[in-house]
Chains A and B, each alone.
Chain A
Amino acid sequence: KQEVTQIPAALSVPEGENLVLNCSFTDSAIYNLQWFRQDPGKGLTSLLLIQSSQREQTSGRLNASLDKSSGRSTLYIAASQPGDSATYLCALIQGAQKLVFGQGTRLTINP
C-alpha cells in the first residue's frame, strides 16, 4: 500500500526567503506526481504535474522535482510572498488516475 509523507507538517518563514517542501513515498510504481495548493475553506488548485519519466517541472517561482529511485519529491518556492501562505499537498497518481495524498505542509509567509 502506497504511503505518502510530507515533512514538515508546518513551516513559517519570513517573506523573501527561498524554501523547500518535501514529499516522500514508499512505492515507486507511480504514473505521475502532482503538487496542489489549498487555501482555507477552498478546494485544491493544481500547481505542477510531473510525469513519471520527468525529473522536474517549473512554473514561475515554483520548481518541483521527482526522484523515483529514492521515493522523493520536493517543491521549491523562490522569493516567497505572503500570498504563498497556504497548505501544500503532494499526491501520487497511480492506476486508473487514482490520487494518493500526503497530509500536507501548512506554510505561513510572514511579511
Chain B
Amino acid sequence: EAGVAQSPRYKIIEKRQSVAFWCNPISGHATLYWYQQILGQGPKLLIQFQNNGVVDDSQLPKDRFSAERLKGVDSTLKIQPAKLEDSAVYLCASRKPGANVLTFGAGSRLTVL
C-alpha cells in the first residue's frame, strides 16, 4: 500500500511570507494528524481531523496557522505570516479506523529566514 505522501519536502521562505504544505493520507485512513517537530524536540500535535471534521486543534496557533481537509481525504496546512520560530519539520500522519498505529509521512522541512 502507498504511504502517506507529503509535499513539498523542503521549503525556504522569508519571515512574514506564507507557505502551504499538502498531505495525502493512506487510502481509507479516516484520521489525519499534523505534527510540528522543531529541531531537537519531539513532534507536537497541531491538529487532528476525523474525516473532514476537526477533533483537536488546541495547540494550533490560529492567528497564523490554518488547516483544512475539505473532502475528508487530503489536507493542507498553511502558515501566514511565517515567523522565524516556525522553522521545523511538519509531519503528517494517518490512521485507519480501529487501528492503534499511526503511519507517518516523510515530512516537510520549513526554514524561515
Report A's interface with B, CB cutoff 8 A: 4, 6, 32, 34, 41-46, 49, 51, 89, 91, 93, 96-104
Contact = CB atoms under 8 A, between A and B. Distances in A.
Chain B interface residue count: which class?
Answer: 20 to 34
Interface of B: 4, 31, 33, 40-45, 48, 55-56, 91, 93, 95, 100-107, 109
Nearest to B105: A43
B42 A104 contact: yes
Nearest to A91: B42
Contacts, number: 55
A44 to B, nearest CB: 4
Contact of A43 (B41, B45, B48, B107): B107
Nearest to A96: B55
9 contacts: A43-B106, A46-B103, A49-B100, A89-B43, A91-B42, A97-B48, A97-B100, A99-B43, A104-B42
B102 A99 contact: yes
Is chain A's binding surface mostly helix, strand, loop or mixed? Answer: strand
A97 B93 CA distance: 12
Nearest to A90: B42
Given A4-B42, A49-B100, A103-B41, A97 B31 contact: yes
Please name the 4 residue pairs, one residue from A and one from B, whose CB atoms are nearest each other, closest first: A101-B42, A43-B104, A44-B104, A43-B106
Contacts of B101: 34, 46, 49
A46 to B, nearest CB: 5
Contact of B106 (A32, A42, A93): A42
A98 B100 contact: no
Contacts of A51: 100
Contacts of A45: 104
A41 B9 CA distance: 9
B45 A103 contact: no
A98 B42 contact: no
Contact of A101 (B31, B44, B48, B105): B44
Given A46-B102, A93-B100, 8 more contacts: A6-B42, A42-B106, A43-B104, A49-B101, A91-B42, A101-B42, A102-B42, A103-B42
